[in-house]
């Protein structure tokens, strides 16, 4: 309930208004907080792990999971592992500027979505849910509050082991026929003896069980290995008072936070938690931002095809929830400056363009969307017309109209980029401190 009331999105604002009406009706005033206020970290299920980096060495299962994660022989092409798309040198994100990666037996089949980074978010992702405030309010709010959590841009997997089966079997990714084929490849892998040691000498006689154990090993690696959450960005050292931000980085941070001029932190949370845990720059909630259609994705040549995120076609269980069409999960912004593709459809290839889109989507729509026959730009052209009303138009900076001055000019954008670069991992504390003294 708190989450639904205090967030900063279109549906959250609606929720706030309706909820405020309900509490007034009931004669108590609970929520006078503006919808743009910094939202708290979402409540995590009891099984979640804290942010403190794991000092202990990985368990045997995680060590096995590491071998599996990097094993290209587990794909039909023989050339693709999890790490091919989730490159450890790129914060477990894509190693190139392709909007979507190629896969399949001949590596000639296009993916549907941009590869997300696997750093930081995984061990904090809540299971997918849509929260209701109460049974009475539920009737008013049915379907109107922002859903949260789950893995994938559409949140369709609740656990990492469920998720891991998808790329192994997807015809345009690692393209195995079935679980038995994957297990057969493991049987021939160099680490097959480790696999038997972990799960029993006869494990390969039961392919379904072997497959499930393999998925759990991948999950343990993703949750335990310190390389998924190093917390060694300049911003982390800044939070620990070990380094200060430059004036430009500070200006960028202030714009990122400012509810009147940027408001980014209302969804990309950037305050430490009560337990001192460092922020992850996501609230795991879903939004429709109206990112323009991307012609680099071949499926988009079919004018009737739309990737509508939460309501399908990849995700099936929310297909009837038309108010969710066009919504995707808020990604972490840690290491975002290292990416070469942005948003779920990889429409933008530089951080500058991604930020310009935020502040000019509504002030200069002709820049982002194609013109219709009437000479008016077709706004939100990657969402079916009947669902374009789902797009967020109430959260700053997405609130302006054509011809108005955007909230940020180019120099503001430079400042925010400078700030976002402080979220890159691998900051060398000592070298940079001594380096900064002598340099302008
Ligand atoms: C061909 C490229 C490719 C390969 C290979 C690949 N992935 Fe992914 N991965 C993606 C894409 C694209 C997404 C986003 C999918 C979506 O939203 O539907 C993704 C999403 C994920 C997510 C969800 C992250 C989040 O925060 O929601 C996890 C976890 C993940 N992959 C793990 C793996 C594992 C484990 C493997 C190997 C078994 C793997 N991936 C292989 C492309 C790939
Ligand atoms: C209402 C919630 C919300 C607000 C406010 C918001 N974002 Fe986002 N952000 C999202 C969502 C949701 C996505 C993914 C949308 C998609 O791919 O369709 C996203 C994606 C991004 C991405 C792409 C990251 C990637 O890995 O592809 C960047 C960069 C970004 N946001 C920066 C910002 C900045 C800077 C601001 C402030 C101007 C901001 N966001 C404000 C919700 C929000």
- The CA 167 to ligand 1 mean position distance, Å, reads 6
- The CA 125 to ligand 2 mean position distance, Å, reads 17
Q: Does the structure show a pLDDT above 80 at 3?
A: no
| DSSP-assigned letters across all residues of 191-259 | THHHHHHHH-TTGGG-HHHHHHHHHHHHHHHHHH-GGG----SHHHHHHTTSS---HHHHHHHHHHH-T
| Residue 266 in domain | no
- Summarize pLDDT for 10-46 with one digit per residue, the tens: 444 433 333 333 333 333 322 222 333 333 333 333 3
Contacts 24+ apart (CB under 8 A), 180-183: 180/207, 180/211, 182/74, 182/211, 182/214, 183/207, 183/210, 183/211, 183/214
Q: Does the structure show a pLDDT above 90 at 286?
A: yes
- The CA 206 to ligand 1 mean position distance, Å, reads 26
pTM for this entry = 0.88
**What single-letter DSSP state applies at residue 279?**
P
CATH of the domain at 96: 1.10.760.10
| Residue 222 in domain | yes
| Residue 399 in domain | no
Ligand 1 atom with the smallest distance to the CA of 160 is: 29
Q: Does the structure show a pLDDT above 80 at 52?
A: no
Does ligand 2 come within 6 angstroms of the Cβ of 336?
Answer: yes
At 94 the three-state DSSP class reads: coil
Q: For residues 106 and 104, give the distance between their C-alpha atoms in angstroms, rounded to a whole number.
A: 5
How many independent structural domains does the chain possess?
A: 1
| Residue 211 in domain | yes
* pLDDT band (50, 70, 90) for residue 134: low
| Residue 86 in domain | yes
Token code pair at residue 323: 């108010």
From 86, 109, 214, mutation site for ligand 1 pocket: most ligand atoms within 8 A of C-beta:
86
SS3 letters for 105-168?
CCCCEECCCCCCCCCCCHHHCCCCECCCCCHHHHHHHCCCCCCECCECCCCCECCHHHHHHHHH
> What mean pLDDT is reported for the chain?
86
Of all protein residues, the one whose alpha carbon is nearest to atom 37 of ligand 2 is 264
| Residue 343 in domain | no
- The CA 330 to ligand 2 mean position distance, Å, reads 6
Contact 220, 199 (CB under 8 A): no
Q: Does the structure show a pLDDT above 50 at 236?
A: yes
Enclosing domain of residue 68: 60-116+153-228
Does ligand 1 come within 6 angstroms of the Cβ of 101?
Answer: yes
| DSSP-assigned letters across all residues of 27-46 | T-----S-TTSPPPPPPPPT
| Residue 264 in domain | no
- Summarize pLDDT for 192-208 with one digit per residue, the tens: 999 999 999 999 999 99
Of all protein residues, the one whose alpha carbon is nearest to atom 35 of ligand 1 is 164
pLDDT of residue 50: 37
- Summarize pLDDT for 352-372 with one digit per residue, the tens: 999 999 999 999 999 999 998
| Residue 406 in domain | no
Q: Which ligand is nearest to the CA of 392?
A: 2
Nearest CA to 339 among 361, 327, 362, 355? 355
Q: Does the structure show a pLDDT above 70 at 103?
A: yes
């Amino acid at each position: 309930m708190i989450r639904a009331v205090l967030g900063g999105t279109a549906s959250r604002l609606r929720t706030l208004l309706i909820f405020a009406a309900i509490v007034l009706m009931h004669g108590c005033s609970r929520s006078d907080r503006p919808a743009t206020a910094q939202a708290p970290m979402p409540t995590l299920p009891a099984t979640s792990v804290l942010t403190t980096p794991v000092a202990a060495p990985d368990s045997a299962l995680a060590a096995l999971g590491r071998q599996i994660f990097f094993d290209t022989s587990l794909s039909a092409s023989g050339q693709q592992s999890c790490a091919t798309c989730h490159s450890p040198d790129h914060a477990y994100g894509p190693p190139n500027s392709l909007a979507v990666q190629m896969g399949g037996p001949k590596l000639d089949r296009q993916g549907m979505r941009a590869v997300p980074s696997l750093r930081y978010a995984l061990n904090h992702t809540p299971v997918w849910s849509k929260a209701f405030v109460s049974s009475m309010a539920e009737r008013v709010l049915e379907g109107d509050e922002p859903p949260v959590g789950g893995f994938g841009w559409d949140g369709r997997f609740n656990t990492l082991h469920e998720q891991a089966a998808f790329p192994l079997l997807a015809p345009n990714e690692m393209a195995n026929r079935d679980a038995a084929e994957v297990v057969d490849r493991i049987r021939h892998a160099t680490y097959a003896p480790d696999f038997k040691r972990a799960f029993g000498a006869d494990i390969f006689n039961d392919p379904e069980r072997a497959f499930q154990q393999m998925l759990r090993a991948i999950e343990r690696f993703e949750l335990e290995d310190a390389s998924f959450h190093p917390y060694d960005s300049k911003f982390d050292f800044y939070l620990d008072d070990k380094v200060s931000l430059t004036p430009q980085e500070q200006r960028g941070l202030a714009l990122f936070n400012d509810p009147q001029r940027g408001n980014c932190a209302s969804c990309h949370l950037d305050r430490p938690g009560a337990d001192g845990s460092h922020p992850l720059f996501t609230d795991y909630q879903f939004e429709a931002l109206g990112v323009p259609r991307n012609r680099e994705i071949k499926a988009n040549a079919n004018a009737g095809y739309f990737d509508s995120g939460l309501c399908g076609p990849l995700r099936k269980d929310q297909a009837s929830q038309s108010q969710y069409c066009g919504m995707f999960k808020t990604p972490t912004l840690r290491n975002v400056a290292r990416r070469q593709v942005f948003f779920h459809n990889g429409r933008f290839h530089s951080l500058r363009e991604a930020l310009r889109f935020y502040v000019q989507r509504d002030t200069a729509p002709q820049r982002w969307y194609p013109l219709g026959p009437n000479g008016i730009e077709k706004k939100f052209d990657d969402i079916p017309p009947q669902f374009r009303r789902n797009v967020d138009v109430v959260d700053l900076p997405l609130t302006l109209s054509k011809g108005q001055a955007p909230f940020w000019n180019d120099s503001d954008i430079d400042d925010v980029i400078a700030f976002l670069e402080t979220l890159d991992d691998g900051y060398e504390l000592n070298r940079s401190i001594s380096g900064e003294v002598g340099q302008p």
